[in-house]
Structure 1
Amino acid sequence: MANIKKYIKGLGVCLILLLTGPITFAQTESLGMMESLDPSKIMTILVLIVMLLVLLVAFYLLIILRFMVREDAIRRAKEKGVEYVEEPSAWSKFYAGLTDAVPIEHEATVELDHNYDGIRELDNHLPPWWKYMFYASIVFAVVYMFMYHINGSLPLQVQEYEIAMAEAQANKPNVEEGSSIDESNIVFSDDPVVLASGKTVYDRNCVACHKAAGEGGIGPNLTDDYWLHGGGIQDIYNTIKNGVPDKGMIAWGDVLSPSKMNDVSSYIHTLKGTNPDNAKAPQGDVYKEEVLAEEGASE
């Protein structure tokens, strides 16, 4: 009973020490720092502390319970007049099964005749865990050989490299085709595929400022003849690519590929003259390609 009381007293001391730490920490922290912490993080920390305390208490109670069972077994052995022999624990049995080590008191059974200056040699077996790993490595080697070198279902490193290079080569023409487009060589395209792609880009990125039909909102109207930065296909592409920072329009050249900017430029070009409802008032200067073409011909 005295030993049990000692264990219980130790448990109480441990709990007091564990609780004193968080309380002292909370008292020493400044109020501003505590207010800046996310409530969910504070709750998570408290839950972790409580879980740690519960685990420590459970572990300590398990030790006490084991001690009580051992004391009771010793008492009953004395009452029967027999010597108490403690049974090995589950961990001891597991460890013995892994190592297959011969106890020191039984080493004479595996001692060899070799004796070098008083150093004896024992005929110990290989540890089972080592043998199991060796057998597993043999199985792995057989499977590896079959999958990689016989069946060929899994590619070797050289084959993986060749596959990756082939995929890169297959995608290369598309990259070169898109990267060769700029405001100097862009032309209007009425290809339905190009216009459909341009509409998709417009709906995802331009509707917020220019509205769905191009009637204008935060940004200007795209359906009339008035343009702030030029209404030609090259002008539209240049405006999309470089943006208008002082007006709040970002440079889409950092976001969209040249081919996508080409598609949306052609789509915006088709919005001219559509006259949607609730169109925004004209902004900028009149831009008509017919007039510019005539002036260029007269020169």
Structure 2
Amino acid sequence: MEKHTVKKQYSCQVCGSAFSQTSHLNSHMRTHTGERPYSCQVCGASFSLNSTLRNHIRTHTGEKPYSCQVCGASFSQNGTLKIHQRMHTGEKPYSCQICEASFSRNCYLKMHLRVHTGEKPYSCQICGTTFSRNASVKIHQRMHTGEKPYSCKICGAAFSRNVHLKIHQRIHTGEKPYSCQTCEAAFKDSSKLKRHIRSHTSERPYVCQICDFAFRNSTHLKDHMRTHTAERPYSCQVCGASFSKSGTLKNHMRTHTGEKPYSCQVCGASFSENATLKRHIRLHTRGKQ
């Protein structure tokens, strides 16, 4: 059977692209002229195509005419529905030519390629730190602004990232989905499991460049580095005393508040520091040894 080919007789004088209809050529020409003749009557946004305006108007009306036949989720655009359906089919049509990783969306592939190129096109306007993703810049900037848009419905604690909120919520639910295969200890988040595993392997990947002392996690290395720099970034708002570790500041604050959260299960005595409680407990156990 012979294939019927459509003749593309209308050519763009700027870039040479060819089209079968004059209306298609006219629409294409707006990519060169920047013309946007279709305007939204609600917010004034303008578009080069009438179809793009129709899609935009649904952001105001809330209309979602495209529905997934598998799970019922609905969308304002047909293209968004097609991308969603790949979640069900597992289709990943966009492949990396370097490592063969595949993705359901072209934008995910573009972001992935920066792993290989090292490209970081998004910069923080405050401190200049660069990132491979725009979303990472937005999250980073909350460190400067103090914005914490994700709040716990139970205790009101607020977080700059949704993933941190999810980890926090496990305090309330008691969920510990990350388990050690050696001793079955369980943890709320994967980073704590990784640190714990090093207690079995004795791995200490974080090394001080000054004295070669090694640590199981990066936080301990940062704390250690202050013994070289004498930096004391944690200050008491009551008396002005400063400390190299946040935990030391917390212990110090109890000298002002009188809080003693560590209690002896034998005699009921309470202490401001866990280390003091441990020393006290030895008084009870000493005679039994």
> Which protein is richer in helix relative to its size?
1
More relative contact order, 1 or 2 (CA 8 Å, 6+ apart) = 1
Shared fold, TM over 0.5: no
| TM-score between the two structures when normalised by the length of structure 2 | 0.20
| TM-score between the two structures when normalised by the length of structure 1 | 0.20
Q: Bigger radius of gyration, 1 or 2?
A: 1
